[in-house]
Structure 1
Amino acid sequence: MLALHGWGRNHRDLLACTAGTDAIAVDLPGFGSSPAPAVAGGAASYADAVEPLLAQCAPRVVVMGHSFGGRVCVELAVRHPDTVAGLVLCGVPLLRRSDRPTARPALRYRLARALHRRGLLGDGTMERMRQQFGSADYRTATGVMRDVLTAVVNETYELQLRQVSQPTELVWGRLDETVPVEIAERAAQILADARLTVLDDVGHFAPMEAPDALASALRRRLDELA
């Protein structure tokens, strides 16, 4: 089994829910002990980075992903339907939120960005604008990782979900405000073979808040390989 963590996190998030399984949990590029990628890219670029590891695993592998890591898992499942035997996804922003249509940045920020590109606004002032208007993840990201974040937040995976043929476990916290349950419900309608488990009193970080529930979903998928 291959387990991939979320944005700004590391492989330790997944240790409790993968305990007792033949699992590899890795630090994705730019997180934990892994160096940042040389160039910015979205989930597909991260799948490129993980593919060599997937090739070294067993002939059939269950992949699990939390949040951003789940996006990478979906990319791997589409590319390698004969190797990826099943998916376990938790709190993954697979689709855009219906209650938050895509919005343009604030006019003040867009003007500042245009002036900065023309050399009419200094780097320090531009960074202060980023800190004021950017998300918490954007404010803490630096260098190429900020460019990676900009790429991934604009991605949606409806096309990839339609191509996933593997049985998929969707395990979601009912209190997840980052990626609400409605995302999982819509994804379940698109996927060919999906099972949704909603966990009461659990938020976005279900792998740490409810590791037993994730472990049960993993065992169901691993049992299919036995």
Structure 2
Amino acid sequence: MIRQHSTWRGKQFSWFESGQGFPIILLHGGGGTGKAWWYQLECLSTHFRVIAPDMPGFGQSEKVPGIERVSDIVVAIQGWLGVWNIERFAIGGNSMGGRVALGVAAQMPTQVRALMLLDAVGVNLKDVPIVNPLTLPPDQFMSGLVKHPDRYRKLTPYRTLSDAQELNHGRHVFAQYLGNDGIASDPSLDLTRVNMPTLLLWGRDDIIVPVEYGRQLEKALADAELLIIDDVGHLPHIEEPQMTCRTMADFLSRHANLLA
């Protein structure tokens, strides 16, 4: 896999890419980078072209004027599709990235052939609060995100000094996006337009976006299936990369007729 760069609206954007075939776009959560999908870039690339961008302002992608809210990132993804020369694709996302993926799916229901959401924001539940991870005390930040911090440290793809610098910068950018849009679902999001096959993958022990959000999304979407992973928190693609890879690969293979 390689990290590539191009420009859009005069600003640099960066992405990780691996494999060839039908395009699969994977969107990281708030504060992260495309490298979060390191394992999936490897395991899915045997059959697909897998693209994991740094969203605007994160990683090595520059902030873009006019992209000020989380919902605005949908516009950036749509613009980047032209640079990638992609017309039809599957898309997935974790947390904030899942919210963006939902927005893309709602805006482009005929182009998005399959959708994969991991512990994603997408509906509003009055009695089940979403926790902003930036509000967690520093000594509880990692234990708030994942079930087993020691396991995460062994598996995390973020291992270099530049990774640490990008993540630190990303937290500030995430706070800027939340300041304009908040962490709740976009009220203009029309879930009735999200009619493609959808995989909902959730950590049972997620305290950031609890599993009840997955259950409600399963009810709200036309063609959704929910899989809950035990002993996992908010980042299943890192906490349980092999199970996540198998689940995503199985979902995509069952809908292979749409991915051509």
Scaled to the shorter chain, the TM-score interval is 0.7 to 0.9
Give the aligned residue type for 1:96.
N
- Secondary structure class of the residue paired with 1:99: coil
Aligned to 2:224: 194
Aligned to 1:156: 185
**Structure 1 residues 180, 79: CA separation in 2 closer, same or farther (over 3 Å shift)?**
same
Deviations along 1:133-159, whole A, 9 cap, x unmatched? Answer: x8259xx754x7544212332542574
Question: What TM-score results when the alignment is normalised by the length of structure 2?
Answer: 0.66
Aligned to 2:61: 34
Q: Percent identity?
A: 30
Runs of 4+ in 1 over 6 A off after TM superposition: none
The 1-side partners of 2:34 and 2:97 are apart by 10
The 1-side partners of 2:198 and 2:41 are apart by 17
Worse-superposed segment, 213-222 or 2-11: 213-222
Instruction: Name structure 2 gaps, 5 residues minimum.
Output: 1-23, 138-167
Q: What pairs with 1:1-226 in structure 2 (closer than 5 Å)?
A: 1-20=24-43, 21=45, 22-39=49-66, 41-55=68-82, 56-100=84-128, 135-136=135-136, 141-142=171-172, 146-157=175-186, 159-219=189-249, 220-221=251-252, 223-224=256-257, 225=259
Cα offset, 1:73, TM superposition:
0.7
Give the conservation status (yes or no) of the 8 Å contact 1:66–1:90: yes
Give the conservation status (yes or no) of the 8 Å contact 1:36–1:145: no
> Aligned pair count?
192
Deviations along 1:28-71, whole A, 9 cap, x unmatched? Answer: 11111112232453233101111122233544211010110111
The 1-side partners of 2:240 and 2:174 are apart by 29
Larger Rg: 1
Instruction: Name structure 1 gaps, 5 residues minimum.
Output: 103-133
Give the conservation status (yes or no) of the 8 Å contact 1:178–1:204: yes
Name the Cα RMSD after superposition: 2.4
Worse-superposed segment, 188-197 or 214-223: 214-223
Give the conservation status (yes or no) of the 8 Å contact 1:70–1:92: yes
Give the conservation status (yes or no) of the 8 Å contact 1:18–1:215: no
